[in-house]
Structure formats: structure tokens, C-alpha cells
Amino acid sequence: MSSDIEFECGNSLYQSILDRYIAGEDVPFTEVQKVWRKNGQPACGSSGFVEQFFPLVRALNQKLPPGKRLRVLAPDPAVDWDRIQGIEDLMKLHYDRESSIASVLEKEVLSKRRKALMLFGTFHLMHGARDAVDLIEKEYPNVTFILSDLGTFDTDLPSLSNSKFANWPTPALARTKGTWLGAMDLSYFLPPPTRIDQDCNVHHEFPRTLQKPMEELVDAFLYLGPQDLRLREKIPADIPLDTTYQKQLRKGEP
């Protein structure tokens, strides 16, 4: 049975183009770029990782038999961003990413009794957090296993010898249920957002739906080593030098 990958950077309006490209058909790269460059998330269009991800899956499929090939699902709402000319057009949109992510997974995967790897930012994939996973689990309980990277630990290289992770292999997978990691709350891993209330008081806290032990939000952590040793992606030169795409961004269009 084929495997599905639901990938955050993708406009479902162009799913048919994406299917043809991933399957190995002769599709101009400028056409398939619409999938991630016209999806309402400018960061996707500036990412070298995203630019390389789709060709990589396409290349893998060419080495696999038909029954084993991968399909990539674009989860964002099907919006023709070429028709969005300003804020008034944006205000007319009912742009609900979480519902769209859940809907694509239900239609293309769960209703067909298939399985999928979901590649998203963690805030889309937490149990009981009013996100895409929460919507999915209302109809399909206990079908997800959420794996998050391990936050902001080990960011001071001189002190690594005293770290709780000093003897951990890299990479390492750690369950959250019943562990000291799972007992921590989200603020140990990520800085809380800043919010100003109606009385101009400043609050540094997560929404109440996220104020829980991590074991209630995610199932496991992936430890990839000290963060100071991780590589940071640079924007490939061809993206900022693409004058047509940069012109679109300056107009406020994805």
C-alpha cells in the first residue's frame, strides 16, 4: 500500500499538479512551485528545505514499485492567491488552516483506512489544543502519535558536560508518558507568546489549552543533539534572485 505525507507547505488548489509531479510526470518546475509559493505562507517559499523536499520525494518514487510509491498531500485551503489584490479580498476569505489540514487528512487518508506522516510545526499537532489533531481525534480517537523535537535544551556548549542529555545517543527518541520530560510544561521548551490585555497589562503565557504537562500534548520527543551544534538553513541565492517571485511578495501576494 502506498504511503501518504501531509506536508505543511502546500496549497490544495494545486493538488493535481503536485500528484503528477510526484508521480514522475513531465511537469515544469515553475508549475509545481505554485504548491508552496502560492499557499499563504511566505516562509515556505523562502525555504531551501521546502524547495528540495518535493524533488526528493519525486526522485524516491522513481526507485519504488507502483504499490510502494509516496503521495504528498497539500493541506492548506484551496485559494487562488493570484486573485487576491489587497486586504479587502483577504477579509472575504474563510481561511481556516486547521480545518483544512484535518479535512484533507480525513478525506485522503483516514476514510480510506490509510496512514500518513504529517510534517508540520508542532503547534498544529498537539493533543487537545484546538488544532488540526484535535479536530481529527474528535472523529478518529487514538489514531495519532505526535513526535516533537526537543525544544531549547542544551544551548550553552561549555555546560554540556553537566547536561541530563550528555550520555544520550544522537538521535534519540523519548516517550513523554510518566517521565520527567512529560511532567514539564511547554514553557520549558519554548518561550511563551506576549499578549497585552484590554487594560494594557502584559502577559507572557500560552493559551489555556496549552497549559498542560507535555505528556498530555505530545507522545514523544526527538533529541537531535545540542542546539548550538545544529545547522541553520540559509536562503538559497536563487530564491531572492527570482525577480518574478520577489515582485509577488512585495505586492503582498504569496
Domain total for the chain? 1
Q: What are the mean pLDDT values of the chain's consecutive 10-residue runs (254 residues total)?
A: 86 97 96 93 90 96 92 95 76 85 96 94 92 94 93 79 87 95 91 87 90 96 88 85 83 54
List all residues 6 or more positions away from 45 whose beta carbon is below 8 Å from its beta carbon. 36, 37, 39, 239, 245, 249, 254
Number of Cβ within 10 Å of residue 24's Cβ equals 12
Would you say residue 161 lies in a domain?
no
pLDDT (0 to 100) of residue 93: 77
Would you say residue 41 lies in a domain?
yes
Residues spanned by the domain of 41: 3-150+168-185+215-250
**Residue 196 to residue 22: CA distance in whole angstroms:** 45
Give the CA angle between residues 150, 156, 161 to the nearest 5°.
Answer: 90
Would you say residue 92 lies in a domain?
yes
Would you say residue 53 lies in a domain?
yes
Residue 137: exposed, middle, or buried by beta-carbon count in 10 A (0-12, 13-18, 19+)? Answer: middle
Would you say residue 109 lies in a domain?
yes
Number of Cβ within 10 Å of residue 113's Cβ equals 7
pLDDT (0 to 100) of residue 233: 83
pLDDT (0 to 100) of residue 188: 87
Would you say residue 84 lies in a domain?
yes
Would you say residue 201 lies in a domain?
no
